[in-house]
Amino acid sequence: MATLTDAKARNIKPDSGNLSHGGITGLSLIPTKTKGHGKWVLRYVSPTSGKRRNAGLGSYPEVSIAEVGKLGHEFRIQLQQGLDPLDEKSKIKSQAQFAQTIPSFKEAALIIHADLLPGWKNIKHGQQWINSLTQYAFPILGTMQLNQIEPAHVAKVLKPIWLDKAETAGRVKQRIHAILAWGWAHGYCQGNPVDVVDKLLPSQPSKAIRVQHQPAMPWRDIPEFVKYNVNVEKNYDVTRAILLFVILTACRSGEARGMRWTEVDFENQIWTIPATRMKTKLPHRVPLCSQAIALLEKLQVFQNELVFPSPRKGAELSDMALTAFLRKQNAPSDTPERVATAHGFRSSFRDWCSENQYPRDLAERALAHTVSNQVEAAYHRTDLLEQRRPMMQAWADWVLNEIHV
DSSP string, 165-186: THHHHHHHHHHHHHHHHHHHHT
Task: Tell me the pLDDT band of 403, cut-offs 50, 70 and 90.
Answer: very low
Q: For 265, phi and psi rounded to 5 degrees?
A: -110, 95
Half-sphere exposure at residue 105, Cβ-oriented, CA atoms within 13 angstroms = 25
* Domains of the chain listed by start with CATH number: 6-99 (3.30.160.390), 105-204 (1.10.150.130), 219-400 (1.10.443.10)
**279-309: per-residue pLDDT in tens?**
888 899 999 999 999 999 998 877 788 999 9
Helix (H) or strand (E) holding 350: helix 344-355
**235-244: per-residue pLDDT in tens?**
678 999 999 9
**162-181: per-residue pLDDT in tens?**
988 888 999 999 999 999 99
Rg of the chain, C-alpha, whole Å? 36
Per-residue pLDDT at 374 exceeds 70: no
Alpha-carbon distance of 10 to 166, in angstroms, equals: 72
Closest CA to 308 of 352, 342, 283: 342
Cα pseudo-dihedral 315, 320, 326, 330, rounded to 10: -150
Per-residue pLDDT at 23 exceeds 60: yes
The mean-pLDDT minimum among 9-13, 177-181, 205-209, 315-319 falls in 205-209
Structure confidence at residue 3 (pLDDT): 84
Residue 309 β-bridge partners = 316
Half-sphere exposure at residue 395, Cβ-oriented, CA atoms within 13 angstroms = 32
Q: For 81, phi and psi rounded to 5 degrees?
A: -85, 0
Alpha-carbon separation of residue 233 from 226, 230, 239, 301 (angstroms): 12, 9, 14, 18
pTM exceeding the 0.85 threshold for the entire prediction? no
